[in-house]
Amino acid sequence: MHFAILLIAGLTAAPGAPGQAQDRTLAYRCGDVAVVGRLKNGGWEHVEIADDLLGHGWASATLKIRKRVHGALRASVIPVRYFEHSYLREDRDFLFVLRSADDGTYEVVAKRLMSARPRLAASCT
So where are the chain's domains?
23-120
Chain-wide mean pLDDT for the chain?
84
Judged against a pLDDT cut of 90, whether residue 12 lies above it is answered with: no
- Which pLDDT score, from 0 to 100, does residue 104 have? 84
CATH 2.40.50 for domain 23-120, yes or no, is yes
DSSP letters along 85-121, please?
SSPPPSSS-EEEEEEE-TTS-EEEEEEEEGGG--EE-
Q: Is the dihedral of CA 79, 117, 120, 21 positive or negative?
A: negative
Please write the tens of the pLDDT for every residue from 30-83: 999 999 999 999 998 877 777 766 778 899 999 999 999 999 888 999 999 999
What pTM was estimated for this model as a whole?
0.79
Q: How confident is the model at residue 22, as a pLDDT?
A: 64
Q: What's the pLDDT band for 14 if we cut at 50, 70, 90? A: very low
21 pLDDT band, cuts 50/70/90, is low
